[in-house]
Amino acid sequence: MNLLLILLVSILSCAAQLCQKQAAYLGTRHGKKTLILLLALSILLLGVGMLLWLAVLRVVPVSIAYPMLSLNFVLVAIAAKLIWRETYSLQQWIGTLVIVAGVALMGSHL
């Protein structure tokens, strides 16, 4: 259950960052309403994520929980590749795999 909460926090944080990127990408080209909507959605997602993070910190030692948030780096990288067709070097993918390995090691203690 703890691992699922941490994963949910990472997903919410990732979604919020993707909203921010989309807001920056669109700028004012699609109107201020779209920009404000994306930024408001980002703040909402971050707020819900923070509340869930507080629940995680009640039951998981911060020395284990906090490093697991690095999953967010992986989720954002994959989403950016899929959504905006961003390119990544082999070195970046290897770094991402190292993060995944670290999270797997940390998660084995939950």
pTM of the full predicted structure?
Answer: 0.85
Q: How far is residue 57 CA from its own chain's centroid?
A: 17
The pLDDT tens digits for 59-80 are: 999 888 888 888 888 899 999 9
Q: Is the dihedral of CA 46, 44, 79, 35 positive or negative?
A: negative
Residues 101 and 71: beta-carbon distance below 8 Å: no
Residue 68, classified by CB atoms within 10 Å of its CB into exposed (0-12), middle (13-18) or buried (19+), is buried
Q: What is the pLDDT along the chain (110 residues), one digit of tens a residue?
A: 888 999 999 999 999 999 999 999 887 788 889 999 999 999 999 999 999 999 999 999 988 888 888 888 889 999 999 999 999 999 999 999 898 888 888 777 66
> In 3-state terms, what secondary structure has residue 56?
helix
